Amino acid sequence: MENENSVKLLNALGKNVAMATQSLDLIIKDVKEEDFKTYLSKLSDEYNLIFKEIQMLAKAHDVDLKLTTPIEKAQLWTSIKLQTMFNKSTRKFATMIYLGTNMGIPDLIFAISDFGDANKPIVELAKKLKDMEEKSNEDLKIFLSK
């Protein structure tokens, strides 16, 4: 790949989406409210579509994505299980996802800023992911009050 920042941005995107999809996979199983479960399933589908785009761009640019490590996966699993051990309410799950995307959004802003000279389709995908997460946070506010 001609641009090292393209590799860095693709990896940042891959890691963001991997954490999001892994979190959603862990949470959806315990969600009881059907409207919220439907919303989370649609959100997961959106992340999966973006992940496919990331994979296609990585393949086109011969990039071996570095996603979450087994330790990060274990930490995520442990964190979610501990946080929801005694509280499996819609509000709790919505808060966890809301806070997660609120960590992901600045990471994406930093990555776009730091690696903004990456290949244009990769930067555009990063902006698309950031916009999706910002919209998700607006949508999640409905479930924070339940």
60-89 confidence digits (pLDDT tens):
989 999 888 888 888 878 888 888 889 899
pLDDT at residue 70 in the model: 82
pTM over 0.85: yes
Domain that holds residue 118: 4-144
pLDDT at 1: 45
CA distance 21 to 18: 5
What are the tokens at 28? 């959806």
Mean pLDDT for back-to-back runs of 10 residues, the chain (146 residues): 85 95 94 96 97 96 87 84 88 94 94 94 97 96 89
Number of folded domains that form the chain? 1
Contact 63, 10 (CB under 8 A): yes
Residue carrying structure tokens 């979610």? 80
How much is the pLDDT for 31?
95
pLDDT of residue 132: 97
pLDDT at 81: 85
Q: CB burial class (10 A; 0-12, 13-18, 19+) of residue 36?
A: buried
What pLDDT does 76 receive?
79
For residue 29, count CB atoms less than 10 angstroms from its CB and return exposed for 0-12, middle for 13-18, buried for 19 or more.
exposed
3-state secondary structure 58-112: HHHCCCCCCCCCHHHHHHHHHHHHHHCCCCCCHHHHHHHHHHHHHHHHHHHHHHH
- Which CATH number characterizes residue 122's domain? 1.20.1260.10
Task: Provide the pLDDT for residue 2.
Answer: 57
